[in-house]
Amino acid sequence: MSADIRARLAAILSIVVAALPSISQAREYTLDYQATLRLAAERAPAVLAARGRIDERRAQRAGAGLVLPSNPELDVAVGPRLQDGRTTTDFALGLGQSLEFGRRGARLALVDAGVGQAVTAAQDALRLARRDAALAYFRVRFADKRVELARLAEGAAADLLATTERRLAKGDAVALDVNLARSALGRARSATLALEAEREQALGELRALLALEPTDTLVVTGELKPGGIFDLPVLLAAASRRPDLRQLDAERDEGAALARLGRGQGWPDLRLGVTWSHEESADIVLGGVTIGLPLAQRGQEARRVGAAQIARAAEERLGRARAVDAEVRAAFAAYQKRLAAVEAFERDVLPLLDENDRLLARTYDAGQLAITDYLVARREILEARIEYLERLHELVQAATLLQAAAGVLS
């Protein structure tokens, strides 16, 4: 074996070995609607980041909960004493510790309010991630149904061409009819490819939302229909507990804790200390107390900022609650209309489509219908089926937005 061949084989082997870890780590996901929501909760980047901030906030409790506000301080002093022509060395050691009153509980309350904000922010991030994942899931299923319908239309166009060619052989059709049938088949194939491209784009959007690896395989299954029956009073009650509203409650609690901390800063600071010194031949031990008088700095800023935050959070929550209520009511009304549109289509249109399909093929095969009339009728049937898929897609989108607005999408 030549050196060149060995070098090429070695290069190929190194590429294969490098690819093995990624191949072994590749996973296959088969997702229906519920599995999509579960995976969004597990993998959505915004959700993971928000959950990480909870730990950051909780870590602040380690410092806020300390009983002593600062470390003890050790003072050392050394110097010569000149007396009567003699030089002696004096030295002193001092140990002091600062104490505070009325602040530790306020600091802990401040941290706990921050943790509450982080928790509710993570819950709201999960609500929005589930909403986006559900909408992306239904876009994929809508694209799947459109591709299926396009392939059926392509099959019908192929049957039309075969029928027209048979009629041409019998003398019952002309070359123009065959050309029209071939053109219809080409357009149907092109439409299928275009819709497959749209499906790939929708699938890519879902993969991005779920943070899947490039090597992961994704298969999406399920129906293009919403589940459950919605009751407006129940939805409104659930919406009143939405995470973004509770986050404002946590901001109000943070303002209260900040004001409490400001009040605690109005208490005097206390510093206890003990000093031992050696002067000439004497040992001296002194105890001391230092009191910091809160005359200039009495926590005015913290109290005022806390009070302003309480007022702002309360006002913002009131406005947000009204907006949420309006959002749910509008989403419910839209859902009701979308549902009525689907039901009307299923009642008045769908039963006729299959029958029209059969009649159209039979009539043209019997030579009772011109190809131009056939193509017009076929296009009308196809557009009706597409319209039904669009109505279904609009319905599941409306249901998703309604559940997300009420905070019950799970």
How much is the pLDDT for 18?
Answer: 52
- What is the per-residue pLDDT for 170? 87
- Binned at pLDDT 50, 70 and 90, residue 11 comes out as low
Query: Residue 400 has what pLDDT?
Result: 96
For the segment 106-138, what is each residue's pLDDT rounded down to a tens digit?
A: 888 888 888 999 999 999 999 999 999 999 999
22 pLDDT tier (thresholds 50, 70, 90): very low
Q: Mean pLDDT over all residues of the chain?
A: 87
Going along the chain from its start, the domains and CATH numbers come out as 27-226+241-319 (1.20.1600.10)
What pLDDT digit, counting tens, does each position of 278-291 carry? 776 778 887 778 78
Q: What is the pLDDT of residue 24?
A: 44
What 80-86 contacts at long range (C-beta under 8 Å, 24+ apart), as own/partner pairs, is: 81/279, 81/280, 83/280
Q: Residue 20 — very low, low, confident or very high, per pLDDT cuts 50/70/90?
A: very low
Confidence band, pLDDT 50/70/90 cuts, at residue 204: very high
CA dist 237 and 235 (Å) reads 5
Spatial distance between the Cα atoms of 267 and 101, rounded to a whole number of angstroms: 6
pTM of full prediction above 0.85: no
Residue type, 331: A
